[in-house]
Chain A
């Protein structure tokens, strides 16, 4: 399978704590994207990091990319109950720029 792996599969934290999710992938990529999905809903695009970038910030989100290890991490700082959702990484491969390959996802639960 070309699907990426994410860990942990599930994460439970208290409001105010930081949440870190990791993503590993298998092929050379053009970019890596993170999405959020609330239960039974569509996906919301969070952030995109290109293969020549190492770190990117957007509000409370911080994404890192290590192409030598084929891995990425998403850090959510000062989490809120509203951050409760599933988070997926998705890669756009270098040799096929149309298809997004999704990771297995991390289910985040933030308790108030």
Chain B
């Protein structure tokens, strides 16, 4: 099946710094990628839809200036958490939709962000 990778797998940073998380589709091209956030023992909440070559679409309540998304190529989307604070600590997961496989989404392994 299609493989999606994320980097880094975990990151610890100081409050006020910015952190960039990469999401790559390794063996397919993805015009659409999705970014989710998951708190411990909770479900995934969609943050935004990342579209190659255009602006991301953010879900209600997600600050687009805080969570910058760039989808510069058909295989890479990045999420930058700007001026991170402890409440941003979470598990961030991306997914990519393979258009030739219908509606199935393939998920990355996730990135654990801890803000001190």
Contacting B at CB under 8 A, from A69-112, are 88, 92, 97-105, 107
Selected contact of B103 from candidates A41, A92, A107, CB within 8 Å: A92
Contact, CB under 8 Å: A30 / B43: no
A40 to B49, CA, bound (A): 23
Q: Which of B71-79, B82-90, B108-116 contacts A (4 or more CB under 8 A)?
A: B108-116
Most A CB atoms within 10 A — which of B1, B32, B46, B110? B46
Contact, CB under 8 Å: A40 / B103: no
A100 to B93, CA, bound (A): 13
Say whether, besides A92-B103, A98-B49, A42 and B108 are in contact (CB < 8 Å).
yes
Contact, CB under 8 Å: A100 / B43: no
A23 to B113, CA, bound (A): 29
Contact, CB under 8 Å: B91 / A40: yes
Q: Smallest CB-CB separation from B5: which chain A residue?
A: A42
Contact, CB under 8 Å: B32 / A98: yes
Say whether, besides A40-B91, A42-B93, A97-B103, A102 and B44 are in contact (CB < 8 Å).
yes
Contact, CB under 8 Å: A42 / B49: no
Q: Smallest CB-CB separation from B46: which chain A residue?
A: A99
Q: Smallest CB-CB separation from A4: which chain B residue?
A: B43
A-B contact pairs, 12 of them (CB 8 A): A3-B43, A30-B103, A33-B103, A42-B108, A43-B93, A45-B105, A88-B43, A98-B97, A99-B34, A102-B36, A102-B46, A104-B43
Extra contacts, 16 of them, besides A31-B103, A41-B110 (Cβ < 8 A), are A33-B103, A40-B91, A40-B112, A42-B4, A42-B6, A42-B93, A42-B109, A42-B110, A48-B104, A92-B103, A98-B97, A99-B46, A99-B49, A100-B46, A100-B105, A103-B43
Measured CB to CB, the residues of A under 8 A from B are 3, 30-31, 33, 35, 40-45, 48, 88, 92, 97-105, 107
